[in-house]
Every structure is written in C-alpha cells, then in structure tokens.
Structure 1
C-alpha cells in the first residue's frame, strides 16, 4: 500500500508539519538516529540537539514520509527507549513505511544476554555496570530503557507487524540483539477509508482470527472517528491478543546460553 497522510485516516491533530531538509527521493530511513547520521538515509529523531534531517514533534510525524515507499529502515538502539505500551505501535508504523519486501534492521537490548552477564559476574562493579545497560544511564530524558527483549518477544513483535526474520539473531557485546527482518505482509491492506466496519472486520480476522464482536466493533468505530482509521486498525494489530496469537505459534526455545548465537563486538561488526 502506498499512501499519503490523508489516506492513512490519521486525524489532523495527531500530525504536525516537520521541516524537511533532506533529499525526498531517498528510500532509506535511520529512525532514532541520534548523532549517527548516515549518507543515503533520511536521519530522523525527536531530539533537536542531534540536528536530524527530519525533526519529529511527535512519533506520528514519521508517517508524513509516506506509506509503502521505503526499502530499508535502520532502528539501531531505539526500541529499548520506547515505553512498552508503544513498542508494537512503533514496529507497525515502520512496517507501514516499508515497501513489500523492504527490510528492517533492529539492534536492541537483550534481556537474556544481560541476565547472563549479570548472573555470570561475582563483583559489584560489573553487576552495577550491566544494570545500567539494562535500565539506561537515566542522566537525561532520552537515556531511559523502557523495554527489553528475548528472542521470542522480539520475533513475535516483528511477525505481528508482518515481518519475517530473514537472518539468525546475533548477539552484540553480550547484551544486544541484532536481527534483520523482511516485510512479507502489509497490515495496512486492511484499511479502506470508504468502509470503516469492513476495515475493522478485516483487521479482526487477520489479527484475532475471529469475527469482530459487537462491543469491539462499537469501540473501534468510535476510535476511528476520533483518531482516524489508521490508528484504530493499528491498535487492533498492536493489542496483546494479537501478540499472544502470534507468540503461541512460535517454536519453543531452549534456555539461553551464549554458545547458541554468533557473538561479536560492535567494533568487529558495526552497522
């Protein structure tokens, strides 16, 4: 699906007008770029101090770039900074921006890796430092870690947004997952601005594998009127029920041990 902001059904109050200072023909996004500006990418952030190509006033501003346009999104050290109730919504937005077959490269905190490092240490200094990586240094507003992931929870988050993991998980510096995923299904294909009930029904069928119940139909119809159809359908796909459906189908994993994964340092394998 390719759409401008009007076609998403977002309400006007949810999207500001960020100033663009980049080549709009570029097909790659570096989301949450910080000071890591990359040539060939639209470098996007909400912090004006890092002088991004696109300064977002709200997360919804990202959608002004256009749905279904992009080939690659890099999300390096981003997901852990997003509050847990909003993580799945962010992954869904990234999927919406990508073309079918587009690639999302994620690097984010590994709960399994951090617990292994903390549990394997017998001294205060090491444990204290690993705990800082778990929760963030918290010296400024953008330095808090609100989320962390296991292999299963990160895989489920990606699959729930229509991605398939295309390369094995890699462990970076003992505490970060790196994984590449390809967009295989387009959840925004459920959105039809001319048929709100049909859009909600389609989202229920995909996400919940059941028809929409009357209470749900009433709730999401009202939400679509208030916040736009994109946000109503997005909330269905971001719901715990959908994540549980996806997660229940994933193969069980054996308890984490470092030798199960390629272990590299950021110096050896930068992105």
Structure 2
C-alpha cells in the first residue's frame, strides 16, 4: 500500500512517503505539492495536515485535482486544515484574535508559512466534490495512523492549547474517497 504524507514539515509518519517543499530530515521527497513526482493512480492514501490552506483562493482546487489524479480508484484523501467556523466561535466567546493568528494567517516564519485560504466544512466539501471526490465526511484524528501512533500534529490542535479533553478542536478534519470505477 502506497501512502503519501503531503506537507509533512518536520513530522515523519512511519509507513508513508513523507513529502514537503522544504528539505528536513523527516522528508523523503522534496517537491512542490502542486507538481508531485508520482504517477497517476499510484497512491492508496494521501494524508495532508495543515498544507492546503497555504494555497490561494484560486489555487487550492487545482491542487486537490492534482492529488485526486495521483490516488488510485477507491483511494482515500485525508485532509486537516484550520476550521474557520471554530475560529469564529472561539473569537465570539473570547474576543482574542491573537489566539487565532497562526490558524488563520500562518506562522509566517519563512516564505512558505503563509495562508492563502480559509475553510469551513461546506466550502471544503464543495471543492472536494468539484474535483471528483465523493463521500466527504469528518474524521476523528484518534482513529487514524497519527492517533494510533501517538504522533502529535496539527490535526489535533485545540484551544486552550493541548486541552484535548475539554478544549475546542480548531481543525477541520475531513476525508473523501476517489470513486472506485
């Protein structure tokens, strides 16, 4: 089974081909996520956490279409991105935009760490379906390889920070299927 971890940054997932635009010891393949060096229909699963929001308003759907082409028929795409609806709820309750800056505009620590898009479930589902994905649904990070392996990535970002029992999940965790036939 071929599993790709796109936009891996410094997080290496065992059993995955870890891909990022910047070289790190965790990266197996250094490549732009808009132009991946994988054959069409070659991946069973694509996981991408906190990467799709780095593409602009008119760029993210073509990126998803590219990823769709790399998945095998019947393959699974699993995405995690900041949940704009959760950010709005947090802001309404706390009135602190400072808590949300990293989620909304990125960390801005380097040339790649800027966000060009925000998502709620409806806009992400609509975009996924527009490029061919079906059965778009939320997933629980605890039931994925990340959760089972005890790897802490942004799919489990909560406010208050790290309060996974009582905090609000700030990430939109969505998966979708490439039709089998």
TM-score for the superposition, normalised by structure 1: 0.53
Task: Please give the per-residue CA displacement for 1:219-270, whole angstroms capped at 9, x wherever unaligned.
Answer: xxxxxxxxxxxxxxxxxxxxxxxxxxxxxxxxxxxxxxxxxxxxxxxxxxxx
Partner Cα separation in structure 1 for residue 138 and residue 83 of structure 2: 14
Q: 1:151 to 1:44 in 2, by over 3 A?
A: same
1:30 and 2:5 aligned: yes
Alpha-carbon deviation of 1:84? 2.0
- C-alpha spacing 1:166/1:158, structure 2 compared with 1 (3 Å): closer
Counterpart in the other structure of 1:132 = 102
Larger radius of gyration: 1
Contact 1:165/1:179 (<8 A) preserved: no
Secondary structure in 1 matching 2:119: coil
Pair 1:46 & 2:21 matched = yes
Which residue is equivalent to 1:118?
Answer: 91
1:114 to partner: Cα distance: 0.6
Deviation string, structure 1 residues 15-60 (Cα, Å, up to 9, x no partner): xxxxxxxxxxx61111111111112111111102455111116732
Matches of 2:123 and 2:31, distance apart in 1: 27
Residue aligned with 1:33, SS: coil
1:175 aligns with 2:170: yes
Q: Contact between 1:31 and 1:45, CA under 8 Å: does it hold in 2?
A: yes
- Structure 2: how far apart are the matches of 1:49 and 1:130? 27
CA distance in 1 between counterparts of 2:25 and 2:113 reads 14
Q: How many residues align?
A: 156
Q: Is the 8 A contact 2:7 2:33 kept in 1?
A: no
Distance 2:116 2:34 in 1: 16
Higher helix share: 1
Does residue 1:103 correspond to 2:76, yes or no? yes
Structure 1 unaligned blocks of 5 or more = 1-25, 187-271
TM-score, length of structure 2 as denominator length: 0.77
**For 2:72, what is the secondary structure of its paired residue?**
strand
In 1, distance between residues paired with 2:22 and 2:72?
27
1:161: Cα distance to partner? 1.5
In structure 1, C-alpha distance between the alignment counterparts of 2:27 and 2:86, rounded to whole Å: 31
Between Structure 1 and Structure 2, which shows a larger proportion of strand residues? 2
Following superposition, the deviation at residue 105 of structure 1 comes to: 0.4
Q: Which runs of 4+ in 1 moved over 4 A?
A: 169-172
Distance 1:95 1:116, change over 3 A: same
Task: Give CA deviations for 1:192-238 in whole Å, capped at 9, x if unaligned.
Answer: xxxxxxxxxxxxxxxxxxxxxxxxxxxxxxxxxxxxxxxxxxxxxxx
Distance 1:108 1:130, change over 3 A: same
